[in-house]
Structure 1
Amino acid sequence: MKAYIDIGKQILDEGVWLENARTGQKTLTIIGATFEHDLSDGTVPVVTTKKLFWKSAIAEMLGYIRGYSSAAQFRAIGCNTWNANANDNQAWLDNPHRKGEDDMGMCYGVIGRAFPGIEDDEPLDQYKKIVTDLSKGVDDRREIMTFNHPNLIHRACLPACMHTHHFNLLGDDLYLESYQRSSDYALGQPFNHFQVAFLLLITAQITGKKAKKMRHHLSNVHLYENQVEIFKNQQVDREPLALPSLKINPEIKTLEDLETWVTMDDFELLDYQHHDPVKYPFTV
């Protein structure tokens, strides 16, 4: 994870302070960064300079795949990342479209699994279309799942940060390009980067393809002002360790499996070595 440390140093050295109206916190910001990792060697890009709660990262992506719209649904599978945005975000609490406690609105998996149609058109299940095509060896250069609907941002507790995933097939090798508009570099980035790898691996498994290379493209990359000194003093000078591998239950064979019986017990991170945890404040 040398790239993670190098980009972190770039934020510290070249970042510009910006005001953030939504959070009331300043951010030290750079624009543009890309992570690349070849998964065919069996390793997965997991941060080693601190402890990553990787099961929660998988649970969140599994919730997106299932189209979850409630923080309670995410909690039930071991992910607590949506509690604050669903229940402590004042702008969302005041939003007339909020349906009550734990409601997340129309974001992430809701859009990914049922992108609203126009007039008489049925909602589009983007991920099912991708899985169906790839399983047949089809790549129409439009194997894209987006969690972003610009006209429905006002009906979501948080517009999708990692908003688009584009799959490409070369022979039996499956590639994934993922795009993120906003990256909380201390807390979110290690989480999201691992999720890109997981999405590629699990999609390859249920479509019978081979996971090849992932690229994770970031646009607005930042550290919040209450994270900068912690990152600088506790994490940035740590030496990265060897990367682990992810073992996925081979009995997971279909999208229906992911939608129904899969739990976190079906995944195991092998040979994960890491430095001590680093506690960063979370900004809603």
Structure 2
Amino acid sequence: MKVYIDIGRRILDEGVWLSNARTGQKTLAIIGATFEHDLSGGTVPAVTTKKLFWRSAIAEMLGYIRGYQSAAQFRELGCNTWNANTNENQAWLDNPYRKGEDDMGLCYGVIGRAFPGVEGDEPMDQYKKIVTDLSRGIDDRREMMTFNHPNLIHRACLPACLHTHHFNLLGDDLYLESYQRSSDYAIGQPFNHFQVAFLLLITAQITGKKAKKIRHHLSNVHLYENQVEIFKNEQMNREPLPLPKLNINPEIKTLQDLETWVTINDFELLDYEHHPAVKYPFTV
């Protein structure tokens, strides 16, 4: 939480105002920041200076792991984060590749679980390759999953923000380096940082490894102009509280489990103390 506050202070002190053609909202932005957390200590990086909707964060990552392409599928899991981007983004509504209501297009889990092949090759299931290798104790330094396909951005309702995850194995200790091109610091960042931790924890569990450390690298880190005063006057002045722990159902043992029967009820955030929720405007 101290790192979260420190980076937020950097945005307020050093940020530069940038225009954004997609949203029509200006952002106060800095370039380059990194979060680091050692999960072997038992705690998870859940924001405490406001309420984190952690169940929705897990549900969204489960949807990515399953390769979901519809906001309706995410809603069934308990996640509403894709409703606006699929159904209220005018550029996407006008896109000829949009297949109809709730369609996300080719982004996130669709790419992660079925990266398009070339010249007749079959799509590549990136996450299955990672799980298979790690379960066998293999790390070829290419245990990477990307949610981004540069040549198919025009066929996605939103190009992936948290776009690449690189797993590294040292003995039985599993590390994760995650990369994010764009960070909505007030709303998205706490959500995404918790998701990185979750991805390492659940991958470690289904591969029989020990979750060690995450590093979450951010490129364009920003507050939207309608968030700046709220962030400065409310969240920045709150005292961080102790971090919680995430309990995962030990019966989750395989990738197939994650793909089939697992729900958000298989996870529990223990000893989570937080300040009241902060209502930030959401920019589509």
- Class of the TM-score when normalised by the shorter of the 2 chains: over 0.9
| Equivalent position of 2:255 in the other structure | 255
| Equivalent position of 1:174 in the other structure | 174
**In the TM superposition, what is the alpha-carbon distance from 1:208 to its structure 2 partner?**
0.1
- Structure 1 distance, partners of 2:15, 2:205, is 39
Give SS of 2:52's match. coil
**In the TM superposition, what is the alpha-carbon distance from 1:274 to its structure 2 partner?**
0.3
Aligned partner letter, 1:71: A
- Structure 2 distance, partners of 1:277, 1:117, is 44
**In the TM superposition, what is the alpha-carbon distance from 1:200 to its structure 2 partner?**
0.1
- Structure 1 distance, partners of 2:266, 2:76, is 16
| Equivalent position of 1:206 in the other structure | 206
**In the TM superposition, what is the alpha-carbon distance from 1:139 to its structure 2 partner?**
0.1
| Equivalent position of 2:156 in the other structure | 156
**In the TM superposition, what is the alpha-carbon distance from 1:120 to its structure 2 partner?**
1.3
The CA deviation string for residues 194-216 of structure 1, in whole angstroms up to 9 with x for no partner, is 00000000000000000000000
**In the TM superposition, what is the alpha-carbon distance from 1:73 to its structure 2 partner?**
0.2
Percent identical residues: 87
Q: Pairwise mapping of residues 263-278 of structure 1 onto structure 2 (< 5 A)?
A: 263-278=263-278
| Equivalent position of 1:18 in the other structure | 18
Aligned partner letter, 2:248: I
**In the TM superposition, what is the alpha-carbon distance from 1:43 to its structure 2 partner?**
0.3
**In the TM superposition, what is the alpha-carbon distance from 1:119 to its structure 2 partner?**
1.2
Size of the aligned set, in residue pairs, is: 284
**In the TM superposition, what is the alpha-carbon distance from 1:234 to its structure 2 partner?**
0.6
| Equivalent position of 1:110 in the other structure | 110
| Equivalent position of 1:195 in the other structure | 195
Give SS of 1:67's match. coil
- Structure 1 distance, partners of 2:218, 2:148, is 15
| Equivalent position of 2:67 in the other structure | 67
Gaps of 5+ in 2: none
TM-score by length of 2: 1.00
| Equivalent position of 1:123 in the other structure | 123
Aligned partner letter, 2:68: Y
- Structure 2 distance, partners of 1:236, 1:153, is 35
Gaps of 5+ in 1: none
| Equivalent position of 2:29 in the other structure | 29
- Structure 2 distance, partners of 1:214, 1:10, is 22
| Equivalent position of 2:77 in the other structure | 77
Runs of 4+ that moved beyond 3 A: none
CA RMSD of aligned residues (A): 0.3
TM-score by length of 1: 1.00
